[in-house]
């Protein structure tokens, strides 16, 4: 055996658990350092526009948490979350047709934490998670960190394709693999902005039920609709086969790091135990601040304000794409934060990114949202954070990059056939056992 000692700068390299091989830097997170430069128009990160939130509302809620409710807010709390906040979470979910008991709700440190707890509870090495293709980048990272294998099901403008889901389930099981759950973002999906139709929600739930597959419904954006509300949540149809994940990060503030899960009873019990093992209890102070805000502010009116802000920015992006990149194709989201752009063959969004940054615009390459390295023709464009005029300028700069690439390809194609390079796919390495 070749002695590799001394070839790695980390002296503890050989001591890590096998599952750490699934940990990789998020392409979205890697962009933040570049995108935060003031001269760069960032269409990359899905950062809520928290400046639309009246500062005094949070200040008052925080002051009351630190004074009137300090005995609770500054103390350890329950691993399930503050009871009053769980009651209020039921009121929030009722807007999407979900009803349940306070005992069904588990508060977590953001919905991302709930996703990690569920992965920890369900995934053994080699287990399969079925997800939309493309899917949320950090969910893929979480699943891979627990040695799970993400298998994608294609989408169209109505969301995940049910027939493709049936075929995927059959193919995975024929290969002798176990499917632990189906992960979906049905409303204003990240990264495509597409919404799963009501008919498909019903059909996919029936496929999952008959196949014995649990559904994880991740719904950060469902209340941020621009024209009309999306169909009722999948959890509203099936309370025993669906774990619903929610968050205050998009409708209030991500810095408070409060999310939740509502789950069938047995899963709920294990979630509480896993929550306590991970963090002992979610932040009591953050929970009390949000509870005070929900008790005293017009939180539904504030969500409506966010809708107006994001609608204006969505319209600015769609208009700019039509003006500057009319030959491209893109999704037209009815809510949420994102547009999914598709470029012609031979263009590679990941390879183009350094040139885009040089032109002072940033986006997220489509490869970030696939577990198998697909998505090179795609990019996710976020309209949630920049002002409308900056969005328009960002798309103009992006058009300079894309059109420059197309011109270069056209010039080479006139002199000789363009060689097609093999794509190196960023696949999860196999795990022993």
Model confidence pLDDT, tens digit, residues 214-250: 999 999 999 999 999 999 999 999 999 999 999 999 9
329-330 and 338-342 as β-strands: parallel, antiparallel, unpaired?
antiparallel
Pairing of strands 338-342, 41-42: unpaired
Say which range, 51-60, 88-97, 154-163, 176-185, has the weakest mean pLDDT. 51-60
The Cα 259–Cα 246 span in angstroms is 6
Q: Residue 427: which pLDDT band, with cuts at 50, 70 and 90? A: very low
Structure confidence by residue, pLDDT tens digits, 337-373: 999 999 998 999 999 999 999 999 999 999 999 999 9
pTM above 0.85, yes or no: yes
The DSSP code sequence of 322-384 is HHH-TTSEE---SBSSEEEEEPPTT--HHHHHHHHHHTTEE-EEGGGG-SSS--TTEEEEE-S
Q: Dihedral, CA atoms, 396, 402, 407, 408, nearest 10 degrees?
A: 130
Average pLDDT over residues 75-101: 97
- Per-residue model confidence (pLDDT) at position 420: 43
Residue 413 has a pLDDT of: 63
Q: Which numeric CATH code is attached to 19-48+301-412?
A: 3.90.1150.10
Domain ranges in the chain are 19-48+301-412, 57-296
Cβ pair 215, 244 in contact under 8 A: no
| pLDDT at 417 > cutoff 50 | no
Of the spans 16-30, 31-45, 302-316, which averages the highest pLDDT? 302-316
Angle between helix 111-122 and 265-279 (nearest 10) = 110
As a whole number, mean pLDDT of residues 304-310 equals 98
- Do 19-48+301-412 and 57-296 come out as alike in CATH topology? no
Q: For CA atoms 88, 91, 92, 98, give the dihedral sign.
A: positive
Burial 371-388 (b: 16+ CB within 10 A, else e): bbebbbbbbbbbbbbbeb
Decide if domain 57-296 falls under CATH 3.40.640.10.
Answer: yes
pLDDT given for residue 174 in this prediction? 98
Candidates 365, 338, 426; CA nearest to 34 is 365
**Nearest Cα residue to 370 out of 172, 200, 141:** 141
Nearest in space to 223 (alpha carbons), one of 325, 299, 328, 130: 299
Neighbours of 157 (CB within 10 A): 10
- pLDDT for 98: 97
Asked if residue 419 has pLDDT above 70, the reply is no
Q: Other C-beta atoms within 10 Å of 325: how many?
A: 18
Q: What is the mean pLDDT of residues 246-265?
A: 96
**Residue 92: closest CA among 268, 200, 244:** 244
102 and 80 in contact (C-beta within 8 Å)?
Answer: no
Confidence of residue 11 (pLDDT cuts 50, 70, 90): confident
Average pLDDT of 134-151?
96
Tokens 């609770």 correspond to 72
């Amino acid at each position: 055996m070749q002695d590799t000692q001394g070839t790695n700068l980390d002296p503890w390299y050989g001591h890590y658990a096998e599952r750490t091989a699934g940990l990789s830097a998020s392409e979205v997170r890697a962009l933040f350092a570049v995108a935060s430069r003031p001269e760069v128009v960032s269409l990359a990160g899905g950062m809520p526009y928290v400046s639309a939130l009246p500062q005094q509302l949070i200040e008052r809620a925080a002051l009351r948490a630190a004074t009137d409710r300090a005995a609770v807010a500054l103390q350890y709390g329950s691993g399930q979350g503050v009871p009053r906040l769980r009651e209020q979470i039921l009121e929030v979910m009722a807007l999407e047709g979900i009803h349940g008991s306070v005992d069904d709700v588990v508060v977590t440190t953001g919905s991302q934490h709930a996703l990690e707890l569920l992965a920890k509870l369900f995934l053994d090495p080699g287990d399969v998670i079925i997800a939309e293709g493309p899917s949320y980048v950090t969910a893929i990272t979480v699943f891979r960190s627990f040695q799970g294998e993400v298998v994608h099901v294609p989408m169209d403008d109505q969301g995940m394709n049910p027939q493709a889901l049936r075929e995927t389930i059959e193919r995975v099981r024929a290969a002798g693999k176990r499917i632990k759950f189906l992960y979906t973002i049905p409303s204003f999906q990240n990264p495509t902005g597409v919404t799963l139709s009501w008919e498909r929600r019903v059909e996919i739930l029936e496929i999952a039920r008959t196949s014995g597959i649990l559904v994880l419904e991740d719904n950060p954006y469902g209340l941020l609709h621009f024209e009309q509300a999306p169909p009722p949540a999948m959890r509203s149809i099936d309370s025993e086969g669906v774990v619903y994940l929610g968050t205050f990060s998009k409708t209030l503030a991500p810095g408070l790091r409060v999310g939740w899960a509502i789950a069938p009873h047995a899963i709920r019990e294990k979630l509480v135990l896993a929550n306590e093992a991970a963090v002992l209890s979610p932040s009591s102070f953050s929970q009390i601040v949000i509870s005070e805000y929900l008790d005293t502010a017009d939180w539904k009116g504030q969500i409506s304000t966010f809708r107006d802000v994001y609608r204006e920015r969505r319209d600015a992006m769609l208009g700019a794409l039509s003006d500057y990149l009319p030959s491209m194709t893109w999704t037209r989201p009815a809510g949420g934060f994102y547009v999914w752009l598709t470029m012609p063959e031979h263009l590679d969004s990941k390879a183009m990114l350094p040139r885009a940054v040089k032109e002072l615009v940033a986006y997220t390459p489509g490869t970030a949202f696939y577990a198998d390295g697909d998505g090179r023709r795609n990019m996710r464009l976020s309209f949630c954070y920049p002002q409308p005029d900056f969005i328009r300028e960002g798309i103009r700069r992006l058009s300079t990059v894309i059109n420059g690439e197309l011109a270069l390809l056209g010039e080479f194609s006139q002199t000789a056939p363009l060689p097609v390079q093999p794509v190196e796919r960023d696949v999860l390495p196999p795990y022993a056992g």
